């Protein structure tokens, strides 16, 4: 038998190639704990020899390195003294290579650290600008919450905030009808911008100037500026405004002008004009025919015009204009240079996939650097848009931290390999959208994504992902224990404290993040244990209810689960919909999920939408199933077959 000894009283026993055992030494009154569970698994059993506390857990054999990390952290990172067979060491090394291809392994204090592999093992690229994207589209937080968020954003390692106001900006004049009924006031926004500047964070406004203007074009007085009358927004390479329509361009410039006016009194180095859709309206087609030009010419001309407009509004500030890279991908280098874009704008390359090597090829970076001296990257800490990646979608409301961590680890590799092609690779914008677009349902709200933002900002700031990074993030978030994520296992997320995590007296630790994660887990359990239960699918279906025909003894087995989950979902809804007073907290069975906590962050319309979209459907299905069971439970005799089946 071989051993890996963590401390003098905390030993993992390793027996053979496939079976692992957990034990503690016979010391004093400590009892030997030894188990022989199925091959290929590690089992940790809770015991406390001299402060070494191990929580029950099960892992695959190849996860022994993660086990070592957990023990190391729980025992104050005491050094691991290995006494393993040569074969066992080789297997660990092989597993590490399989799991972490493209990353270096740094064995330190008994664990393996995922380290981004730089060109030089000592000098890897650190993004100088790490920008937190604050999307206010359709689920804007209350201003008091935003003011609390600013120091947090600074603390997690961001150097700036990119603000996408959309209809939460208090537009005036011809755009006064565009502002949301709960839009911020100018005084509120000045307070916010002052707080951002006080914390030495750069401010980058984002104003869409080609596509994604549906928050304006949805109104009747602006339909004439749509590219197609039916669509305030249209994809498939089609813009929402005509680039040659002076009225449409003036509308865009007016939005830019008003937002720039607010920012005049604050430091402003960058301004993002979006520009990720192309236009092909009738006016544009006529212009192209008359002037013998193509859509590329129109787009580049429009971008140049808007960029010059931005710079002219505040000439003393020397604002650098950013654009999404989409529309430059297929542009000819000579055309980009002809319109002077290489000196007017800086492209922001956005990609939210987990493996960017398949997306951003070396030729792409080489071509981009031939046109621009400066470039940016854009990752995501929540709500990515790819239809190929199945990890997230327009109705993803719970956080998938591992997916975004993989995206950022991949971005480390891209930046390290290609930053030297540019005069300066400015940095990376960490995006976090509230909705897929203006018309989509609400998805991950800001507090839900903050854990992901903190983890990934730390990764970008250090240029690596490893134990030291997770230790620092855990301290910033005031977590009860160290966060741990791995590419091949479920993450360990303890109780943490960040904006949106005010603690209740009775049920400690329930807040927006954990509340949403708990709801997500509950709904998944309902799907698995109730709606996908073979008894429900086979004997309690709509057909059974229609023809009053079932195996009655199955009903009692299912009814308890249905009633239990129904009660749990009802409590979720109740605590969102009702304004719970502090003196009533202890009367709610310790299940305090949403309403009180979300109301400290969001307006009532956001809370109501969340309930309607993510709580009501499951609750309604449970209620219908409960009613069906009650109805079938009354049966004592059953009809003769065949049934008179009709479509219903």
Supply the residues annotated as catalytic.
Answer: 277
Beta strands 484-486; 489-492: pairing state: antiparallel
Structure tokens that stand for 11 in this block = 């030993």
Is 65:111 a contact under the CB 8 Å cutoff? yes
Q: How far apart are CA 370 and CA 366, in angstroms?
A: 6
**Total residues belonging to the chain:** 648
Residue 157 tokens read as 């390692």
Neighbouring CB atoms inside 10 A of 538's CB total 12
Consecutive H or E run containing 301: helix 295-313
Helices (H), 507-642: 512-526, 534-539, 542-547, 552-577, 595-599, 604-610, 616-633
Pairwise CA distance, residues 150 & 197, whole Å? 10
Contacts of 190-199 with CB under 8 Å at 24 or more apart are 190/262, 190/265, 191/143, 191/147, 192/143, 192/146, 192/147, 192/150, 193/262, 193/263, 193/266, 194/266, 195/147, 195/150, 196/150, 196/161, 196/266, 197/266, 197/267, 199/150, 199/151, 199/153, 199/154
Residue holding tokens 């100037």? 209
Neighbours of 522 (CB within 10 A): 18
Q: Is the peptide bond before 265 cis (omega within 30 degrees of 0)?
A: no
For residues 419 and 627, give the distance between their C-alpha atoms in angstroms, rounded to a whole number: 62
Start-to-end CA distance of the chain, whole Å, equals 67
Place of tokens 């199955």: 554
Nearest alpha-carbon partner for 505 in 570, 581, 408, 395: 581
* C-alpha dist (Å) from residue 519 to 4, 450, 513, 582: 40, 17, 10, 22
Strands 424-432 and 129-135: parallel
- Alpha helices per DSSP H over 314-443: 333-338, 341-344, 362-371, 401-418
CA 235 to CA 210: how far, in whole Å?
A: 12
- C-alpha distances out from residue 469 to 205, 406, 460, Å: 30, 15, 10
CA–CA distance, 359 with 349 (Å, rounded to integer): 11
CA angle, corner 365, sides to 360 and 368, nearest 5? 125
Helices 86-99, 64-74: inter-axial angle, 10-degree rounding: 100
Q: Could you give the residue ranges of the DSSP H alpha helices within 6-85? A: 64-74
Angle, helix 446-462 to helix 143-155, in steps of 10 degrees? 20
């Amino acid at each position: 038998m071989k051993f890996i000894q963590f401390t003098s009283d905390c030993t993992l026993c390793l027996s053979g190639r496939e079976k692992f055992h957990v034990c503690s030494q016979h010391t004093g009154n400590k009892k030997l704990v030894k188990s022989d569970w199925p091959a290929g698994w590690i089992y940790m059993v809770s015991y406390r020899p001299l402060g070494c506390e191990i929580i029950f857990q099960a892992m695959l054999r190849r996860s022994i390195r993660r086990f070592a990390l957990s023990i190391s952290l729980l025992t104050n990172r005491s050094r691991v003294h290995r006494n393993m067979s040569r074969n066992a060491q080789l297997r660990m090394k092989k597993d590490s290579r399989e799991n972490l291809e493209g990353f270096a392994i740094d064995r330190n204090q008994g664990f393996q650290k995922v380290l981004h592999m730089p060109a030089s093992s000592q000098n890897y690229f650190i993004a100088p600008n790490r920008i937190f994207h604050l999307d206010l589209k359709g689920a804007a937080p209350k201003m008091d919450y935003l003011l609390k968020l600013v120091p947090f954003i600074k603390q997690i390692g961001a150097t700036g905030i990119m603000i996408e106001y959309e209809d939460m900006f208090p537009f005036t004049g011809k755009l006064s009808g565009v502002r949301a009924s709960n839009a911020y006031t100018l005084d509120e926004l000045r307070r916010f911008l002052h707080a951002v500047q006080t914390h030495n964070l750069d401010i980058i406004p984002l104003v869409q100037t080609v596509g994604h203007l549906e928050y304006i074009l949805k109104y009747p007085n602006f339909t004439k500026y749509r590219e197609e009358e039916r669509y305030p927004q249209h994809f498939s390479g089609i813009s929402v405004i005509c680039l040659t329509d002076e009225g449409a361009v003036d509308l865009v410039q007016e939005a830019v002008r008003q937002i720039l006016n607010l920012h005049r009194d604050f430091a402003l180095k960058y301004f993002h004009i979006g520009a990720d859709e192309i236009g092909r309206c009738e006016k544009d087609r006529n212009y192209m025919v008359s002037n013998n030009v193509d859509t590329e010419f129109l787009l580049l001309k429009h971008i140049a015009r808007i960029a010059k407009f931005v710079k002219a509004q505040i000439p003393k500030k020397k604002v650098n204009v950013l654009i999404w890279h989409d529309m430059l991908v297929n542009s000819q280098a000579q055309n980009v240079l002809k319109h002077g874009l290489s000196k007017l704008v800086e492209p922001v390359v956005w990609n939210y996939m987990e493996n960017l090597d398949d997306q951003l090829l070396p030729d792409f970076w080489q071509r981009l650097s031939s046109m621009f001296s400066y470039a940016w990257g854009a990752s995501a800490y929540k709500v990515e848009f790819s239809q190929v990646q199945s990890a997230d979608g327009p109705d993803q409301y719970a956080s998938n931290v591992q997916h975004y961590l993989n995206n950022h680890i991949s971005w480390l590799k891209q930046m390290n390999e290609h930053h030297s092609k540019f005069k300066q690779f400015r940095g990376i914008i960490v995006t976090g959208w509230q909705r897929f677009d203006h018309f989509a349902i609400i998805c991950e709200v800001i507090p839900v994504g903050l854990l992901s933002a903190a983890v990934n900002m730390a990764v970008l700031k250090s240029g690596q992902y490893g134990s030291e990074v997770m230790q620092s993030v855990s301290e910033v978030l005031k977590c009860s224990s160290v966060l741990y994520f791995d590419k091949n296992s479920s993450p360990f997320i303890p109780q943490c404290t960040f904006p949106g995590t005010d603690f209740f007296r009775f049920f400690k630790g329930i807040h927006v993040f954990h509340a949403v994660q708990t709801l997500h887990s509950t709904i998944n359990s309902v799907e698995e244990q109730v709606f996908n239960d073979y008894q429900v699918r086979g004997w309690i279906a709509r057909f059974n209810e229609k023809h009053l025909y079932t195996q009655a003894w199955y009903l009692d087995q299912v009814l308890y689960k249905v009633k239990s989950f129904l009660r749990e979902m009802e409590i979720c809804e109740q605590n969102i919909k009702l304004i719970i007073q502090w003196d009533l907290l202890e009367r709610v069975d310790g299940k305090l999920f949403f309403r009180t906590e979300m109301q400290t962050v969001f307006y009532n319309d956001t809370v109501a939408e969340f309930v309607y979209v993510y709580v009501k459907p499951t609750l309604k299905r449970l209620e219908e199933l409960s009613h069906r069971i009650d109805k079938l439970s009354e049966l004592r005799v059953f009809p003769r077959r065949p049934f008179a089946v009709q479509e219903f």
